[in-house]
Structure 1
Amino acid sequence: MHPPFDARIEACRRRLETVGAELLVCFPSPNLTYLSGFVESPSERHFLLFVPQSGSPAIVAPAMYGAQLDSLGLPDVRLWDDETDPLIVVEDVLEGMALEKEDGTTGSTVLLDDRMWTTFNHDLRSLLPDAEFGLASAALEELRIRKDETELAALRRAGAIADRVSLELRSRGEELVGTTEAELASEIDSLLSAEGGGEPAFETIVAAGPNGARPHHHPGDREIDRGEPIVLDFGAFVESELEAGTARYPGDQTRTIVVGEPPAEYERVHEVVREAQGAAVEAVEPGVEAGEIDRIARSVIEDASYGDAFVHRTGHGVGLEVHEPPYITAGNDRELEPGMVFSVEPGIYLEGEFGVRIEDLVVVTDEGCERLNDSPRGWESGENVGR
């Protein structure tokens, strides 16, 4: 295999030993991409990566993927065609792996991809009737939660793309008035692509006026009016630079802007959210619990008497998935470590009036954190940008 996947496979083996499992089986998912560099959507076909605690990993895949898999340098590729029962191939792979426990018992612990479809889960259970089963995250979460330099480089590029699009949107000022939410969302997606991004990392959010009080509003045909807050939440995937294989990492940034003069209460609300976000980012450093970051952001908003209007967690991890550990939420006692990447995105949502959310991605460093977004966080647009 090629870097960094050979190192990830070895790290996975060590984690299997730590958690007391003999085998991990991945299905087309971010876990499979993390370990192999192969990106594929799930389908009804058997496409499975087997990583034993000892011995060589193997992949079972439809024959149509042969050329693609050859380029990855995987040590043991078992292809099957439409005239072959894939379970025969799977069974042959399992028989060749030493799955006995150290005490000599025939039972084994097998970790299955958290996203694996029930069909394949059932097949593996039928072939390993004496095994105990768990989730692949028991081994892989500890590996994926800390990003290596290749991953961080991709996330920085994704953040820079979002920054450039954010600046472009602000500069348009009055041009935004009369545009529908859906039209602006489509334009944002085009801008992300023009700046070097791939497909949107999630459905772009444009929420104007009272729609901004819905944190995950779907853009519609409402026209943007002068003087109303506009919540803009967007990002694009970028490809990481790998010797072989591929992996995509997303941007994720939120700003809330206004064209013209905002509602009377808006400036105070925006400043409270901005203060909460800044305080939370300032508190990020190794050893701090994830729940403490949430508490700090929430306390600023509660002290301003808007606690009931902050209706979601402060943040979520970002990597191969837009939402993954660590989750920055109350009660999460997971200590932050260098290499963890997550969003910090407090918000206040006033039903029937408007919403405000400010979001940046941060990476934990040895001494604190680095913001992956650096576009203006104020509400001004047009000629007033940077005020």
Structure 2
Amino acid sequence: MELDIKNKLHDDPREQSWRPHRAIGLRQLPRIWLVATAAALYLTWTIRPFETRSQFDRVLQCSIDNFHKDLYFLEHARPIEASEFLERRDNLAKALHVSGVDGFVLEPGYTFQYYANISQPQWEPWEPEERAFLMIVQPSVNSSTGEVAAKTSFLSPHFEEGRVRMLGIPSDGELDIIVWEEHWNPYSTLREGLFPNKTAVLMVDEEIRDFLVRGLDSNGFKTVGLGGEVEAVRQTKTPAEIELLRAVNTGTIEGIRAMRPCLEPGLTENQVIKILDKTVGTIGFELFFDIVLFDSNAALPHGGFATGDKVLSHETMVLIDAGYHHLGYSSDVCRSFLINPPRKSLMRQLFRLPELRNRNSGFHAEKLKVWDIVLEAQTEAGKMFVPNGTAASVDIAARKVIDDAGYMGTFTHRLGHGIGIKAHESPYLNKGNHDTLLRAGMTFTAEPGIYLENKFGVRHEDIYLVKESGPAEVISGKRAVSPYEP
């Protein structure tokens, strides 16, 4: 009987068909499940059907989150104290005395802000007024000690005197205000009030308007242009100024660094501008300027007539030149970089397939090469920021690296400029400026670049502080390391 049962089972056609079918299913099921799971993950990864936020919002939030991970650069930044403004005027008075000049004249502007703490929103009511509102600083020599200090006066329309006193200009006591009525000559009123018995020589600020200078010249004054030791007062930064420059410039760089890994293909130049501005704006930095250029748009240093609609891809060389204000001081830095390469697809990872080759590998290689050359040019320029070195020598050092690398004529602007409360201040670093000697305390941008028409542009810009001895200090944080770590 046992034999018959075995034979029946063996002869049953259902049993015959079931056995091989079951064996095939056991072997195939894991692979089918693996492929189906991989496909589902791939579609979820690439299409993101459940993503509710826009690409812009997603990238912006990523950028802000990265930025706020460490705001170390704000730690030592403090507003300039009232005593420092008085000290600046005393330094100005000493420079005027050495220069044989009777006084320095300025109207609301950046220099007025430097010596009197009147920021742009506060001075706007005065500009472009046709009525003269002037600040005059004179050297006053103590006959006993020979010490030179500042005597500061203001020329104001009579009806505006009260508002001038309300501006909060730092002073040892009551402001010395010389007032003039609407039917008076303000310049002769100034001469009678301060220099009644002499033809005073007045140095005028570089920002003062021409009609004011002509008014002074035609009413008993002799005016001379800004220069020499007087100009050097503002060029040489105090420790408090250096900390503010460090904070705003490093903060701007860190804003760019926080944003870069979040950027995705498909964003436009205008969108990247908005993302960066909103990111650094979260800590109160005030927008000054922001230039974002992709590839061929960056072949002109400031972008020409780019509309901001060029679209980002993984191969795009991005150039960002940005400046913001913080507590009255400016940033002006630049980074060139590539966004993160595309992640290897999950399907290719699972099945160990090679990535698709870049069709423009030669173009990509040239971008990397140029990026390195520009960084080397900046490195060589940085070595020339030494006391008594010439402004020209810094520019020439960077230009030589670029020329020797075979890109002569592609570095089309000066190497840099001074920076402080104004982004562009003297001295200016160009290959013809052999007369200006560098001093400890001066701060400069160093921004070499290579610009290849119809292809791309690369520029690196950091802030250098000239030291009493030794190499200059970079006060805009860590320098760029690679196109993926700018």
Establish whether TM, by shorter chain, passes 0.5: yes
Structure 1 residue aligned with 2:117: 37
Q: What is the deviation of 1:353?
A: 0.2
Matched, 1:66 2:167: no
Q: Quick one: structure 1 residues 64 and 186, their matched pair in 2 at CA, closer, same or farther if it must change by over 3 Å?
A: farther
Q: Quick one: structure 1 residues 107 and 91, their matched pair in 2 at CA, closer, same or farther if it must change by over 3 Å?
A: closer
Q: When the two structures are superposed, what TM-score results if normalisation uses the length of structure 2?
A: 0.69
Q: Quick one: structure 1 residues 21 and 287, their matched pair in 2 at CA, closer, same or farther if it must change by over 3 Å?
A: closer
Q: What is the deviation of 1:22?
A: 1.2
Q: Does structure 1 retain, via aligned residues, the 8 Å contact 2:85–2:115?
A: yes
Q: Quick one: structure 1 residues 341 and 70, their matched pair in 2 at CA, closer, same or farther if it must change by over 3 Å?
A: closer
Q: 2:97 aligns with which of 17, 29, 32?
A: 17
For residues 289 and 122 of structure 1, what CA distance do their matches in structure 2 show? 34
Q: Quick one: structure 1 residues 70 and 185, their matched pair in 2 at CA, closer, same or farther if it must change by over 3 Å?
A: closer
For residues 68 and 214 of structure 1, what CA distance do their matches in structure 2 show? 46
Structure 2 residue aligned with 1:220: 308
For residues 313 and 361 of structure 1, what CA distance do their matches in structure 2 show? 15
Q: What is the deviation of 1:315?
A: 1.0
Q: Does structure 2 retain, via aligned residues, the 8 Å contact 1:258–1:379?
A: no
SS of the counterpart of 1:236?
strand
5+ residue gaps, structure 2, are 1-80, 141-149, 342-357
Q: Quick one: structure 1 residues 124 and 257, their matched pair in 2 at CA, closer, same or farther if it must change by over 3 Å?
A: same
For residues 291 and 138 of structure 1, what CA distance do their matches in structure 2 show? 17
Q: 2:269 aligns with which of 148, 168, 181?
A: 181
5+ residue gaps, structure 1, are 101-105, 240-247
Instruction: Give runs of ≥4 in structure 1 deviating > 4 Å.
Output: 86-90
Deviations 1:9-63 (A, max 9, x none): 2222222222222122111112212221122233214221011233732113434
For residues 219 and 284 of structure 1, what CA distance do their matches in structure 2 show? 37
Q: Quick one: structure 1 residues 75 and 124, their matched pair in 2 at CA, closer, same or farther if it must change by over 3 Å?
A: farther
Q: What pairs up with 1:313-332 in 2 under 5 angstroms?
A: 313-332=414-433
Q: When the two structures are superposed, what TM-score results if normalisation uses the length of structure 1?
A: 0.86
Percent identity over paired residues? 26
For 1:179, the aligned partner's letter is L
Structure 2 residue aligned with 1:288: 389
For 1:209, the aligned partner's letter is D
Structure 1 residue aligned with 2:208: 116
Q: Does structure 2 retain, via aligned residues, the 8 Å contact 1:235–1:252?
A: yes
Matched, 1:254 2:334: yes
Q: 2:243 aligns with which of 137, 144, 153?
A: 153
Deviations 1:313-349 (A, max 9, x none): 1111101211111211102222221100001111000
Q: What is the deviation of 1:189?
A: 1.6
Q: Does structure 2 retain, via aligned residues, the 8 Å contact 1:167–1:375?
A: no
Q: What pairs up with 1:34-113 in 2 under 5 angstroms?
A: 34-39=114-119, 40-41=123-124, 42-44=127-129, 45-54=131-140, 56-61=151-156, 62-63=160-161, 65-70=163-168, 72-73=170-171, 75-78=174-177, 84-85=181-182, 87=184, 91-98=188-195, 106-113=198-205
SS of the counterpart of 1:142?
helix
For residues 321 and 155 of structure 1, what CA distance do their matches in structure 2 show? 11
Q: Quick one: structure 1 residues 144 and 71, their matched pair in 2 at CA, closer, same or farther if it must change by over 3 Å?
A: closer
Q: What is the deviation of 1:119?
A: 2.9
Q: Quick one: structure 1 residues 46 and 6, their matched pair in 2 at CA, closer, same or farther if it must change by over 3 Å?
A: same
Q: 2:322 aligns with which of 230, 234, 238?
A: 234
Structure 1 residue aligned with 2:294: 208
Q: What is the deviation of 1:360?
A: 0.4
Q: Quick one: structure 1 residues 280 and 376, their matched pair in 2 at CA, closer, same or farther if it must change by over 3 Å?
A: closer
SS of the counterpart of 2:335?
strand
For residues 437 and 209 of structure 2, what CA distance do their matches in structure 1 show? 32
For 1:347, the aligned partner's letter is G
Q: Does structure 2 retain, via aligned residues, the 8 Å contact 1:231–1:256?
A: yes
For residues 308 and 298 of structure 1, what CA distance do their matches in structure 2 show? 9
Q: Does structure 2 retain, via aligned residues, the 8 Å contact 1:272–1:300?
A: yes
SS of the counterpart of 2:224?
strand
Q: 2:259 aligns with which of 169, 179, 183?
A: 169
Q: Does structure 1 retain, via aligned residues, the 8 Å contact 2:336–2:458?
A: yes
Q: Does structure 1 retain, via aligned residues, the 8 Å contact 2:253–2:476?
A: yes
For residues 309 and 27 of structure 1, what CA distance do their matches in structure 2 show? 40
Matched positions, count: 362
Q: Quick one: structure 1 residues 380 and 271, their matched pair in 2 at CA, closer, same or farther if it must change by over 3 Å?
A: closer
Q: What is the deviation of 1:196?
A: 3.6
Q: Does structure 1 retain, via aligned residues, the 8 Å contact 2:178–2:190?
A: no
Deviations 1:113-136 (A, max 9, x none): 2221223223323332xx321123
More helix by share: 2
Structure 2 residue aligned with 1:305: 406
